[in-house]
Amino acid sequence: ESEPEPEPEPAPISGAPQFTEDPSIDPGTPISAEMDEMPLPMLADSDSVVLENLEQLLGEPAVMRYVVSDNVISRIVATVDTLGSRKIPGVVQVVNGPETPFLASPNTVPDRIIRNEEGDVIPQFIIDPATYERYTPYIELLEAVDAAEWVSIYRDYYPLFLEAYRQMGYAQGNFNDRMIAIVDELLATPSVSDPVELLKPEAYFLFTDPDLEALTAGQKIMLRMGSQNAMRVKEKLREIRAQL
């Protein structure tokens, strides 16, 4: 499937969990180790219990269809981290992609002709609005669960999220800081009206606007889902962000 995403790799961050749903807890203050804790499995043995929790929220059919079932927490951590980079490698993704292909139509009336270094004309396209529907099932699942329930699972298993993050090479890293930074980045994604113009110099689509092409992988996913879908995702992210 060809999608608008040129791309190279991640970026670090750093500390210990900071959940601020209690306004008396400063956002920069690590959560107390004396707070209620549930017994946790080892990270390597956590898939079954995490999948069971997700099935309780989303239903078994949805989890079977959309969630990659091995190394779930490690995949979530790697996916979140690389949302802030130029590319999300397929090998780390925790969510299975859409069943339908990305659609783009030839731009028959481009503002200008664009050529490569050899002087050849680069084909230009626009995103077909019909392609936005491929993101609908994902958005409906996100909206179906209350933000507090998403954050509750995250809180319960946070020590495992932190362990997975540090295994990625961020030895002193604080995954909650990274999570907050990525959510804020997604919320800052610019709103773009149709038609969204693309180039296809080689195998992949690129955004014609260099400012859009310079955005992170996560922000470009937001653009590819269309402005209305992006608004829905941002609304849920704001609810989640308020509890992180």
Each residue of 25-65: pLDDT tens digit? 334 334 334 445 678 999 999 999 999 999 999 999 999 99
User: Is residue 5 within 8 Å of residue 87, measured between CB atoms?
Assistant: yes
For residues 108, 113, 119, 123, the Cα torsion angle rounded to the nearest 10 degrees is -30
User: Is residue 98 within 8 Å of residue 135, measured between CB atoms?
Assistant: yes
Q: Output Rg (C-alpha) for the chain, integer angstroms.
A: 19
Domain presence at residue 24: no
Domain presence at residue 18: no
Domain presence at residue 230: yes
Total domains in the fold of the chain: 1
Q: What is the pLDDT of residues 95-135, one digit of tens each?
A: 999 999 999 999 999 999 999 999 999 999 999 999 999 99
pLDDT of residue 91: 82
pLDDT of residue 36: 54
Q: What is the pLDDT of residues 177-222, one digit of tens each?
A: 999 999 999 999 999 999 999 999 988 899 999 999 999 999 999 9
pLDDT of residue 38: 72
Domain presence at residue 184: yes
pLDDT of residue 150: 96
Domain presence at residue 17: no
Domain presence at residue 149: yes
Domain presence at residue 212: yes
Domain presence at residue 27: no
104-106 and 197-199 beta bridge pairing: unpaired
- Domain encompassing residue 139: 43-241
